């Protein structure tokens, strides 16, 4: 089973120059916390998460209409190829502790989004990662990060 077999093909994306309010609207409309950022050629250049939004607003103290997606987006982006095995994408999620991966073709163009939810829903299909594989990946994804507090 490959990424393209279960990835979400209908997704929202924004451009680097779009205001953060555009990404927020996409998140609200699609009930998600993740928006890929693509350039004018459709090439993936970053992602904006709900966490990125919160940090940007707190740090800049600007209205979301005055913050560009490019100023907020996470990059470099952890992604997967649409034709790669699902198990490889799950390993990438675990290694980089992310729940979603933009799925790109071999030229870097965004084709879809693969989420841990997609993988869990497909776990009973032939060729999908096993329940044990998914739980092991989730343990890595959900592991507590060490945060150092400075006085």
150: in domain? no
| Residue 94, domain CATH | 3.10.580.10
24-38, 50-64, 90-104, 125-139: lowest mean pLDDT where?
50-64
Assess if residue 147 is contained within a domain.
Answer: no
Query: Residue 45 pLDDT > 80, yes or no?
Result: yes
Domain assignment of residue 114, yes or no: yes
What does the mean pLDDT of the chain come to? 92
Contact 86/97 with Cβ under 8 angstroms?
no
Backbone torsions φ then ψ of 23, nearest 5 degrees: -65, -40
Give the other-Cβ count within 10 Å of 4's Cβ: 18
At 125, which helix (H) or strand (E)?
none
Q: How many domains does the chain have?
A: 1
Domain assignment present for residue 148? The answer is no
* Of 58, 44, 74, 56, residue with least CA distance to 19: 56
Look at residue 149 and tell me if it is in a domain.
no
Helix (H) or strand (E) holding 111: strand 110-115
Within a domain: residue 119?
A: yes
- The CA distance from 52 to 72, in Å, is 6
Domain assignment present for residue 101? The answer is: yes
pLDDT digits (tens, 9 = 90+) for 5-29: 999 999 999 999 999 999 999 999 9
Contact 80, 36 (CB under 8 A): no
Question: 12 lies in which domain range?
Answer: 3-142
Cα dihedral 73/17/15/26 (nearest 10):
70
Prediction pTM value: 0.88
For the stretch 52-67, pLDDT in tens is 999 988 888 888 888 9
Q: How far is CA 13 from the centre of its chain?
A: 11
- Tell me the mean pLDDT in the region 112-127: 94
Q: What is the pLDDT of residue 151?
A: 60
> Does 51 map to a domain?
yes
């Amino acid at each position: 089973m490959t990424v393209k077999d279960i990835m979400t093909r209908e997704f929202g994306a924004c451009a680097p120059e779009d205001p953060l309010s555009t990404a927020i609207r996409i998140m609200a409309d699609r009930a998600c916390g993740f928006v890929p950022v693509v350039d004018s050629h459709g090439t993936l250049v970053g992602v904006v998460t709900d966490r990125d939004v919160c940090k940007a607003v707190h740090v800049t103290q600007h209205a979301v209409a005055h913050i560009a997606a490019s100023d907020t987006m996470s990059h470099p982006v952890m992604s997967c190829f649409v034709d790669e095995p699902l198990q490889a994408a799950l390993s990438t999620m675990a290694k980089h502790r992310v729940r979603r991966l933009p799925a790109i073709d071999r030229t870097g163009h965004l084709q879809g989004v693969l989420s841990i939810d997609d993988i869990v829903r497909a776990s009973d299909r032939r060729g999908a990662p096993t329940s044990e594989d998914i739980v092991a990946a989730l343990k890595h994804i959900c592991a507590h990060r060490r945060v150092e507090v400075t006085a």
